[in-house]
Amino acid sequence: MKGNVYFRRYWQLYALLVLPLAYFIVFKYGPMWGVQIAFKDFNFFQGITGSEWIGFDAFREVFRMDDFYRTLRNTIVLNLLDLLVSFPAPLILAILLYEMKVVWFKKLSQTILYIPHFISWVIIGGIVYQVFGTQSGMINNVLTTLGFQAIPFLTDKNDWVLTYLLTGVWQSAGWGTILYLAALTGINRELFEAAEVDGAGRLKRIWYITIPGMKTTIATLLIINLGNMITIGFDRPYVIGNVAVRDYSDVLSTFVYRIGMESGQYTLATVVGLFQAVVGLIFVLGANYASKKLTDESIM
Amino acid sequence: MSERTANRTFDIVTTVLVAVAVLLCLAPFIHILSISFSSNRAITSGEVTLFPVEFNLQAYGKVFADMSMIRSLGFTVLLTVITTVLSMLMTIIAAYPLTKKNLKGRKTMMFIIVVTMFFSGGIIPEYILVRDLHLLNNMWSLILPGLISPFYLIILISFFNGIPESLGEAAEIDGTSQFGTLIRIVLPLSLPVLATLSLFYGVGRWNGFQDTLMYIQNPDLFPLQLKLYQMIQNNMVSELTRLEGASGARITPEGLKAASVIFATVPILLVYPWLQRYFVSGVMVGAVKG
């Protein structure tokens, strides 16, 4: 009887949950079940269950591929460089915005700086070709007018990395300030007043009050970023990369797409995807553990 | 230097630096806008930087005359609206029950959901699933697989948790059903976060690219991003062939490409200011605790 009362009271809640749970089971756990094709000689006609088991053969093949190590290296190197360049940008921008006294200009700046975050990588790709193109790009036009050599931003490997990094800063710096500014609103204004009385200048106040006020946020974001070292989005390297710079622009996500969707080697592509998922999971869990230890704040 | 002048100098320096950042942020947009309004001759001779040269509307004329472009825009709008509405509905009906601490099985369900944030089957098993469900070249392949974002779901759960439970209990005593409490009490109090998540779902669908590349081959169902990508790709080929001295690539005129980029960006820029005031608070809710 007790159970009956419980369900009479709560059946509506369970009814609400039916569809969402069905979604998770079909569209999230379905692909997890499908991961078994990494261990099968998959072909579409026999389907997942019909295909033959091959054990770790596909893994051995992947670990013998030069492309695999190249894309793994590119993923980690691009992520590390990106962290180096893109991590400090929002931090500095947030401090500047926080120090700004003209409220209307501060608000306007924030509105504008957030915009690139909402622009797709395909569109950014379109903009990149117009801005960085060798023949008619904006930057090179200015450079050649001033008598300098044009820089092959899109076709030279090393210059391409620069393009990749700059677009990352442009896209994410403004949006990244949100969390820091949120952390800064928690700072007690009296600290600033006290420091002023003690004769601390603006720079000193930034160093001793503003930056420590963001410490936890900085640490947490840094750890999250490190945890994502092996994860990399598909759109950005795929759209900005091209054949000429493939040695540097081909990363795990584009590699999986290329061998899976373009060459139809589903088993090998699944193996690479699984490798990325498992190693990524280890990184993320490690980062979460480190975060708990260091900042008393876990990501999850 | 007195403290007062030091303060003034500091204020000026910060303002100038922020202004520079804002300009750097806007410059590419302004450039591409100017390209879209300039003549082909001026563009190819490299005269356009920040202002249109030989102002004209030819490129826009071509974009709006291209029925496939208009159709693609219409399809993308439809797709975005359907996705946003369905995603929000599903996220709400999932979040509300999961805020009830005494709901049996709640922990297990939370676990089932949270796991998917950290581990996924990867794109190939996803593709095979979509194919087996006969959704290839079908609008639903772009809607169903990403219907609920576990991350947004958790943001919504933590927001709902912040609403005092006594409000719901009072309504229940008055005889309101769970469903009624959700609609009449919880949702009206959650408008900022609902607006934020709608923006995120909407923008995510509008900007989504990889799934369109994988699931859609039928040109009639090309969303804007896929259409744009092909234009830009043509241009990349031209850049490479120019380098190798070869020719033959079909080059989309720069002006047309720029106009198309503007065409695909404006709708986002139109909704964004209306929702901006919400999302700052919305993002903070998510940042507090997962």
Domain extent for A128: 56-295
Which range has the worst mean pLDDT, A135-144, B140-149, B231-240?
B231-240
A24 in any annotated domain:
no
User: What are the beta bridge partners of residue A260?
Assistant: none
Query: In this predicted complex, what is the ipTM?
Result: 0.91
**Tally of domains within chain A:** 1
- Best mutation target, A28, A106, A108, A121, to test chain B (most B CBs within 10 A): A28
Taking only the tens place, the pLDDT of each residue in B50-94 is: 888 888 888 899 888 888 899 999 999 999 999 999 999 999 999
Contacting residues for B136 by C-beta, under 8 A, at least 6 apart: B130, B215, B217
Residue B236 has pLDDT above 70, yes or no: no
* A249 located within any domain: yes
Average pLDDT, chain A: 90
Mean pLDDT score of chain B:
87
Q: Are A266 and B124 in contact (CB under 8 A)?
A: yes
Instruction: Tell me the pLDDT band of B259, cut-offs 50, 70 and 90.
Output: very high
Q: For chain A, percent helix, then strand, then coil, each to nearest 5?
A: 80, 0, 20
Q: Note the pTM of the prediction, 2 decimals.
A: 0.91
Q: How many CB atoms lie within 10 A of CB B215?
A: 21
Q: Compute and round to an integer the Cα radius of gyration of chain B.
A: 25
Three-class SS state of A40: strand
A contact residues 11-30, partner B, Cβ 8 Å cutoff = 12-14, 16-17, 19-21, 23-30
- Residue B195 contacts residue B49 (beta carbons within 8 Å): no
Decide if A5 is inside a domain. Answer: no
- Domain of A180, CATH number, reads 1.10.3720.10
Tokens of A272: 């690479």
User: CA torsion sign, B185 to B188 to B194 to B196?
Assistant: negative
Report B:59-88 residues touching A (Cβ under 8 A): none
Cross-chain Cβ contact A17/B125 below 8 Å: no
pLDDT band, residue B209 (cuts 50/70/90): very high
Question: Confidence class of residue B288 from pLDDT cuts 50, 70 and 90?
Answer: very low
What's the pLDDT at B246?
A: 47
CB contact under 8 A, A111 and B179: no
CB atoms within 10 A of CB B277: 13
- How far apart (Å, rounded) are the C-alpha atoms in residues B218 and B197? 30
What would the pLDDT profile of A34-69 be if each residue is shown by its tens digit?
Answer: 999 999 999 888 889 888 999 999 999 999 999 999
Contacts of A143 (CB under 8 A, 6+ apart): A149, A150, A151
Q: List the end-to-end C-alpha distance of chain A, in Å, as a whole number.
A: 38
A266: left (phi over 0), alpha (psi -120 to 50) or beta: alpha
Domain-located, residue A228: yes
In a domain, A25, yes or no: no
User: What's the gap in Å between the CA of A107 and the closest CA on chain B?
Assistant: 10
Q: What is the largest CA-CA distance in chain A?
A: 88
CB of A282 within 8 Å of any CB in chain B? no
Please, which pLDDT band fits residue B235 given cuts at 50, 70 and 90? low
Q: How many CB pairs under 8 A join A and B?
A: 282
- pLDDT tens figures, B21-38: 999 999 999 999 999 999
Look at residue B179 in the predicted model and tell me its pLDDT: 83
> What parts of chain A have a pLDDT lower than 50?
none
**Terminal Cα-to-Cα distance of chain B (whole angstroms):** 49
Q: What pLDDT is attached to residue B241?
A: 59
Within a domain: residue A9?
Answer: no
Q: Is residue A123 part of a domain?
A: yes
Instruction: Work out the pLDDT band at B247, boundaries 50, 70, 90.
Output: very low
Q: CA A106, CA A174: separation in Å to the nearest integer?
A: 12
Whether A230 is in a domain gets the answer yes
